[in-house]
Chains A and B, each alone.
Chain A
């Protein structure tokens, strides 16, 4: 099955850019999603990218996809304290089932 790997923690200073990386194994992934989860809450969809794209920009968010290396990243520009949360990448392949790793805890400090 699909494996998804992310670094567990990322600490950044307020106002800096954050880059959260993700690697996955299923080369048939068609859509790749990024979700944000705040403590005790469900998952909020942030953005997604089609597998035939290599970049997508959505306001402060930039998603880069390297399909050859099966590597996905999420860049958050001008990171704010409200961005502190756990971020999950979730590729979805031919099974129509998104797969999640353990997520990256983003800590934003003043």
Chain B
């Protein structure tokens, strides 16, 4: 396994611009999660996919946030019309539902830092 990969690692954008983050999960992991982490806080759940189905999206922070996983492999998280309050680290994680004996362990990527100026 090469681990969960996120791109870009760092993004600086002007307020009002759109940004997109990409996550490549561990191969054959069918569950994929997005979290947001702000300074001094723990990760806050945003949304979750099982294969290509988005099973939970009610906690996306606003309608400016959207996520896709079109082929059940990589995923993208888009933030439209960014605001300064969107500055945070966006974390992606993946797991396999088919490995209960290993705790369906959830592995995180290194995160994508967003700074909105």
Contact = CB atoms under 8 A, between A and B. Distances in A.
A100 B42 contact: yes
7 contacts: A4-B42, A33-B103, A42-B4, A42-B91, A98-B33, A98-B106, A100-B43
B25 interface: no
Interface string A18-54: 0000000000000101010000111111001010000
Q: Pick from B31, B41, B108 the residue with the most CB of A within 10 Å.
A: B108
A99 B56 CA distance: 14
A45 B65 CA distance: 27
Interface residues of A, number: 23
Contact of A102 (B31, B41, B103): B41
A45 B42 contact: no
B104 interface: yes
Contacts of B35: 100
Contacts of A35: 108
Given A4-B42, A92-B106, 13 more contacts: A33-B105, A41-B110, A43-B43, A43-B93, A48-B103, A92-B104, A96-B31, A96-B48, A97-B48, A98-B106, A100-B44, A102-B41, A102-B42
Interface of B: 4, 6, 31, 33, 35, 40-45, 48, 56, 91, 93, 97, 103-111, 113
B20 to A, nearest CB: 19
Given A41-B110, A95-B56, A48 B43 contact: no
A42 B108 contact: yes
Contacts of B105: 33, 45, 48
Nearest to B3: A42
A77 B72 CA distance: 41
Contact of A31 (B97, B104, B107, B113): B104
Nearest to A103: B42
B44 to A, nearest CB: 8
Contacts of A50: 103
A50 B106 CA distance: 14
Contacts of A96: 31, 48, 97, 104
A103 B44 CA distance: 12
